[in-house]
Structure 1
Amino acid sequence: MRSKCKDVKISIITPVFNGEVFIENCLKNVIEQKCPFAEHLIMDGGSKDKTVEILKTYSQKHPHIHFISEKDNGQSDAMNKGIKMAKGDIISFLNVDDFYEPNALNDAAAIIDKMTEPGLLVGNCKVWISEDKIQRVNKPKHLKLRDLLLGVEINEHPINPSAYFYHKSLHEKIGYYKIDEHFAMDIDFIYRAVQYAHVKYVDKIWGNFRSYNDTKTVLDYKSGNGWRRLEAMQRFYRKDLSFLDRLWVTAVFETRKKIQSVAYFLKNPLELINRLKYEK
């Protein structure tokens, strides 16, 4: 534990590729935090648009901004590069199209500074479905692995890294982000992190997540792949539960699936009839 918050340094990591539409606002959002102990690391994957040009301009004016631009193996690879470059004891990821609430960095740093390492500090996140419409506020209050594996319909998971912060030393316990995971790397991280970190939830809004129709995450879930990937990940991490917890989570999970199937076919009876004919 450190005695003074001013001694803490936060490393904000932003992975980006061809992000000229959002990168300037992302840089400004961190600047406007007025956090004197923060560095902003931008991991550019070799953008072909004006992203690098904008980064050069801002990094020359603001010494807390640092970037590299080179080909990588996807978002997880870029995130891991940022962690290894980070000088701070505290890590925060800010995707190029997301943003912090005012004073989020100073506020969160003052809290996590008093936590035992490795700590994971989770706040609330606004979910935007358009420039002027908030769909909901994500409030992930229940953060034990058993709670999270019951599914997002029962207990929300932290929906976006702009609303949580953690000690860099946590990676010494759980490793880095999985290179072969290009969509749900943050969920996989949370499932591992809550098993080893000292976890604290704070009922404050720190992050903002743009969940627009054309974003990678939304398109993935609309296709059905996102839900299948999440379900497979939940099944995989059940092995880390105690025997009784595993039985409980499996029972709740499978029961909920059956109820959802019944509800679906009640709304779509013709599809049920066709499926029964096919099975014969």
Structure 2
Amino acid sequence: MDQPLVSIITPSYQQDQFIQETIESLLSQDYPNLEHIVIDGGLQTHNRNFAVIQNHLVERFRWVAEKDRRQAHAINKGLAMAKGEIIGWLNSDDTYLPHAVKKAVSVLDQNPQWGMVYGKANYTDDQNHVIGPYPVEPFQLERLYETCFICQPAAFIRKEAFDKVGEIDESFHFCKDCKFENA
């Protein structure tokens, strides 16, 4: 059976100190059918990001370096470019644990009626040392109204689900990295 293409979108803005580790965590995945799309709103040809990205240019690695209207717009650009059946978004200061993509695809293959899966994750510091576990819970719609128990970088969503609901709403600026404010 052919393995579906997984598109990973990485929005980035002035993340020189983190982007290499992010890219390497994706390149170290044991899932072979990946494309990585980096949308960098702050990339200049003279900064370190440019050198890091050039070092990792491979067949399914694409990057866009141009101004954008913040993170949601960058993600929407990546979604428009994505060719994969499954979408992940990995922020430029996040990393995947080993086997993350392979496990997500396996669960989605076993559950074709599901639009997405999510897994466990850890909070890390700026050196990528684990601070503690993200409070992941089994899915309950009512509970999701109360708290964020889905760690966005650990979520994988079928492209058809994005196609049904549309783009990321660019008017929300504090909901992209689980930074929620009480209403």
Q: TM-score, structure 1 length as denominator?
A: 0.59
> SS state of the match for residue 36, structure 2?
strand
Verify: 1:121 aligned to 2:129, yes or no. Answer: no
Contact 1:142 1:148 in 2 (8 A): no
Contact 1:118 1:169 in 2 (8 A): no
Verify: 1:176 aligned to 2:181, yes or no. Answer: no
Count of aligned pairs? 181
Q: 1:50 to 1:171 in 2, by over 3 A?
A: same
Aligned match of 1:157 in 143, 146, 149? 149
Aligned to 2:28: 32
Aligned to 1:87: 83
Q: Which moved more, 1:178-187 or 1:26-35?
A: 178-187
Displacement of 1:139: 4.3
The CA distance in 1 between the partners of 2:155 and 2:128, in whole Å, is 23
Aligned match of 2:38 in 39, 42, 64? 42
- Equivalent AA in structure 1 for residue 87 of structure 2: I
Choose 1 or 2 for highest CA Rg: 1
- Equivalent AA in structure 2 for residue 126 of structure 1: N
Verify: 1:7 aligned to 2:3, yes or no. Answer: yes
Contact 2:108 2:114 in 1 (8 A): no
The CA distance in 2 between the partners of 1:36 and 1:142, in whole Å, is 28
Identity over the aligned pairs, expressed in percent? 28
> SS state of the match for residue 119, structure 2?
strand
Write the mapping of 1:1-280 to structure 2, written as runs, cut at 5 A.
4=1, 6-48=2-44, 49-59=47-57, 62-117=58-113, 119-129=115-125, 131=127, 134-149=130-145, 151-152=146-147, 156-159=148-151, 161-185=152-176, 217=179, 226-228=180-182, 232=183
Displacement of 1:227: 2.4
The structure where helix makes up a greater share of residues is: 1
Contact 2:174 2:181 in 1 (8 A): no
The CA distance in 1 between the partners of 2:139 and 2:50, in whole Å, is 38
Aligned to 1:244: none
Question: 4+ runs of 1 displaced by more than 3 Å?
Answer: 129-135
Aligned residues: CA RMSD: 2.0
Contact 1:126 1:134 in 2 (8 A): yes
Q: 1:132 to 1:44 in 2, by over 3 A?
A: closer
> SS state of the match for residue 52, structure 1?
helix
Q: TM-score, structure 2 length as denominator?
A: 0.88
Q: Which runs of 5+ in 2 are unaligned?
A: none
Q: Choose between structure 1 and 2 for higher RCO, CA contacts under 8 A separated by at least 6 residues.
A: 2
Displacement of 1:29: 0.9
Displacement of 1:171: 1.5
Q: Which moved more, 1:78-87 or 1:177-186?
A: 177-186
The CA distance in 2 between the partners of 1:46 and 1:71, in whole Å, is 7
Contact 1:14 1:40 in 2 (8 A): yes
Aligned to 1:256: none
> SS state of the match for residue 124, structure 1?
coil
The CA distance in 1 between the partners of 2:125 and 2:25, in whole Å, is 19
> SS state of the match for residue 95, structure 1?
coil
> SS state of the match for residue 111, structure 1?
helix
Q: Which runs of 5+ in 1 are unaligned?
A: 188-216, 218-225, 233-280
> SS state of the match for residue 76, structure 2?
helix
